[in-house]
Structure 1
């Protein structure tokens, strides 16, 4: 189905540097019905006046929801009075709740209201008034209680402003029947502009279009609070992001780029203390801007990242959709993660793997196994998942959980000799001389993709513990972002009787950040995808990767019913033009089966 910029119809149902290493990892890491848009187009409404950044809502519960806006006034120095109204109709005639607050410099003139006392499972409309003007009207929805027959969610991640239009956001905004949208992280990127920022081999050769007229702001890598605020402000001027927020409640969690690339609790790959100062100060700035600029519920007590004072329910959140599904949002990045292993150390860990599968003993730090979630969060996740009495347990997760085996380049039946040589040359171009041969050797031995250290594969003890938690839940489904490509895998747990199915994992592609198509320039992305699937199929004792897509951007659409969950990988054909075509690849997992299967 072709999309253009003028109509509002759509589906109602459908020698590597560490920075370059990440970029490679990120890749390794339809029917249509007309619908009516029920809310104001925020981009049109906000062209003038104080609401340049639109409106948003998020963190819905059965009786409450957070609504958000930002007031822009050129000469603002004093607090600005703001009125908010919540109504049961789009024309804002039937007021349900209303009140006043203020926008002030301390919070960058952002406004956030946690509206309480609402009815469960209801659609509401809201707007703000300030400085003699009214904001666009937004639409939101509270969570249902009791018996629920159907749940529909969209899931997105990884939106890089410079690298393409947010067509995925625009497409999601066309759906009129979503209960919420999940953003699994990398809502913004911290890099500076152009080749000094997030670059790829294709971009370095001038092969990637630059579709946007608006330039990245600030014009440097962001480190301080005012810079993070300015980057969020830039993103919030995007018309498609504004539409997404205005028409759906969004449930956000951060990944790394909300602060810095390859973040862990004590630092980040993209942070140099000698030139960029204290990392904890930088992290605090990024997290503060995240809370200011997104409709996420404010922490009730202390710093949510503080292991002593923070309330885990402020950060790792639960959303219950009646008796049908529990959504558990986890943080694999900022709060509890130990530092990543370098690729050679990761390979050493896995070199002595037992025949039953890739579950080695972890490299220990300080006498303890390395953590991805951290002990406090791991215990919290175990309780929240295993105590749930809903039919389905959905896990909102950032980095890929399935075991990422290196492609067996040398023995693959998918490659002709010229194709094999081209792929080896591509890998050498990205990773340095001999990198292709290294990948081939690792693939032949069944060892992990060497740059998967940033994902769950790089934390074997934590990964095994998470699989044990998932195995105790009746119907877990893992929803993942981060990798910039689409994946469907079936996770397994080792046992004396052989691998036991645990849960399907659906890894969503990115909104605009590039995948393999901009890295391995002489090898078709379809070939790369097939190689990963083939390598998994050769090893029945490991997680089974049943689908990979390495070329296109998009989002996931999730529909849960009592007997099955259906997940659509929805792809947009381009992010370099605002006219695009969509295509859907569908999978289904039946209750009790713990494995996904393709749907023709």
Structure 2
């Protein structure tokens, strides 16, 4: 089944709606006086973005080339001329301590509406918006059971494959923009901090893959500015900027934001690094991640990636963090009964996930996972990087925590859950069924895998039989580390029909074509 793009919703803010729902504002950068007097007007460097959108607001992001005052303007007509009824919000100062990035958190907006906005940069002491500007828009979550469409993917600019001018930089963003989604779930590996981009690469067929080079990406990231530079490299892509301006993000992170396969407390054996303590690197990496994405206050101010994003009565998205609280990578053979303790999520997050799923009143409950749960993902010769450890028997190691979560979902009667993930650099559809499993105390469910969105393509990985998965569809390259020139770049799409509440998943390729599709009926 191939779906067609939803028509762009007519502008719903309306003059009366905007006047009756003036947004309240939270500036997410310190608004203190600046002592620097610029010699020229500040300029936007990487376009504009929005993210963590709710029924009543969202986060708007921008970066300047020097100290600046950030303004956000909202328009009921989509125009920003003097005759339009534009509301102007005086936002934060963009200063060197945040690498001139800043966020404005908007609230009080009407649900189910397209919200055109314009970011304007002015001198730090400005009281009115006058200067360089860029426009964007986001769509607030619906209050009623409207149709929902969103996309997901991950793994960007990895394995030395950077922005290529011959193919339009990161062309997958134009294909995704054409789908007109309500939001985009970035499933992690949003940069490859440990993966330099150093020059052109000759492919096995003789073609040359050309890389745009920037100094920040010629070496691994260790300092805060190194990590910032990796984000600036990706955000310098024109196709990504077009996408970012029109589609709000939901961001999570995984390993390559810091270092391949990292876990808390690890001391790196990587000779490229002078800073070996991964906790030091992770703190710098997380700060850069929050500076360069439009994440809300829960994440940026409370340092918590895992959170719930409600998108109306049909959908709740539960963003989990399989990196920050995990135990050390081992062969994954630790025995024991299913338990919430430790594992890949940590006890507190595992209990939060089960509790939040039980409290959700949404028809569909999507668990946004930065790693697959049934694929064997090794770390070296003997250790396990993800969950599954490969023997297909009773739950061992991190499988015990996932078994507890699946068991709790089943015993509490939580219906209509599915897992979305990336990480393994190919696309697949996995169906889990206790009738095929060694561990049987759970209800059948789906896991959908997509990516990469601009990195080397790999796979497929081996499935572990503990939870009874079967691969209903797989698209993977014929050789490891296939370049984006060779295709095998993927994103996924979820559509929920507002009338029937049926959910359809399409796995799409670099052009946006649907490779495989399934439609699921809601239970209960």
TM-score scaled by length of structure 2: 0.77
Answering whether residue 427 of structure 2 is matched by residue 486 of structure 1, we say yes
Report the RMSD for the aligned CA atoms in angstroms: 3.7
Corresponding residue to 1:179 among 168, 172, 182: 182
Distance 2:364 2:269 in 1: 37
Answering whether residue 495 of structure 2 is matched by residue 565 of structure 1, we say no
Displacement of 1:369: 5.9
Equivalent pair of 1:64/1:142 in contact (CA under 8 Å): yes
User: Is the alpha carbon distance of 1:541 and 1:463 closer, same or farther for their aligned partners in structure 2, counting shifts above 3 Å?
Assistant: closer
Answering whether residue 151 of structure 2 is matched by residue 154 of structure 1, we say yes
Aligned counterpart, 1:457: 388
Aligned counterpart, 2:370: 398
Displacement of 1:173: 1.4
SS of 2:137's partner is strand
Structure with the larger helix share: 1
Equivalent pair of 2:118/2:135 in contact (CA under 8 Å): yes
Aligned counterpart, 1:418: none
Corresponding residue to 1:144 among 135, 142, 145: 142
User: Is the alpha carbon distance of 1:155 and 1:65 closer, same or farther for their aligned partners in structure 2, counting shifts above 3 Å?
Assistant: same
Displacement of 1:96: 4.2
Deviation readout 1:345-366 (Å, 9 max, x if unpaired): 34x66xxxxxxxxxx64899xx
Distance 1:270 1:249 in 2: 38
Distance 1:496 1:225 in 2: 45
User: Is the alpha carbon distance of 1:370 and 1:301 closer, same or farther for their aligned partners in structure 2, counting shifts above 3 Å?
Assistant: closer
Answering whether residue 326 of structure 2 is matched by residue 337 of structure 1, we say yes
Aligned counterpart, 1:260: 259
Corresponding residue to 1:506 among 407, 427, 448: 448
SS of 2:444's partner is strand
Distance 2:360 2:8 in 1: 35
Equivalent pair of 2:318/2:366 in contact (CA under 8 Å): yes
Equivalent pair of 1:499/1:542 in contact (CA under 8 Å): no
1:129-140 alignment, distance < 5 Å: 129-131=120-122, 132-140=130-138
User: Is the alpha carbon distance of 1:268 and 1:243 closer, same or farther for their aligned partners in structure 2, counting shifts above 3 Å?
Assistant: farther
Distance 1:217 1:273 in 2: 15
1:155-554 alignment, distance < 5 Å: 155-160=152-157, 162-163=160-161, 165-176=169-180, 178-194=181-197, 209-215=208-214, 217-267=216-266, 275-299=274-298, 303-304=302-303, 314-334=304-324, 336-341=325-330, 345-346=331-332, 361=336, 370-404=342-376, 453-458=384-389, 459-471=398-410, 472-493=413-434, 501-516=443-458, 542-551=468-477, 552-554=488-490
Distance 1:33 1:100 in 2: 33
Distance 2:352 2:256 in 1: 25
Equivalent pair of 1:261/1:270 in contact (CA under 8 Å): no
1:71-86 alignment, distance < 5 Å: 71-73=64-66, 79-86=67-74
Aligned counterpart, 2:61: 68
SS of 1:333's partner is coil
User: Is the alpha carbon distance of 1:393 and 1:166 closer, same or farther for their aligned partners in structure 2, counting shifts above 3 Å?
Assistant: same
Gaps of 5+ in 2: 12-40, 123-129, 163-168, 390-397, 478-487
| Between 88-97 and 231-240, the greater mean CA deviation after superposition | 88-97
More relative contact order, 1 or 2 (CA 8 Å, 6+ apart) = 1
Displacement of 1:279: 2.3
Displacement of 1:301: 9.2
Displacement of 1:36: 12
Deviation readout 1:188-226 (Å, 9 max, x if unpaired): 111243589xx9xx9797967423334463321001101
SS of 2:297's partner is coil
Equivalent pair of 2:495/2:505 in contact (CA under 8 Å): yes
Displacement of 1:104: 0.6
- Runs of 4+ in structure 1 off by over 4 angstroms are 30-38, 202-208, 268-274, 300-303, 403-406, 493-500
User: Is the alpha carbon distance of 1:362 and 1:262 closer, same or farther for their aligned partners in structure 2, counting shifts above 3 Å?
Assistant: farther
Deviation readout 1:135-166 (Å, 9 max, x if unpaired): 22011121122x31321001120011641542
Aligned counterpart, 1:586: 517
Equivalent pair of 2:376/2:387 in contact (CA under 8 Å): no
Distance 2:210 2:357 in 1: 43
SS of 1:67's partner is strand
Deviation readout 1:373-394 (Å, 9 max, x if unpaired): 0000001001111111111101
TM-score scaled by length of structure 1: 0.68
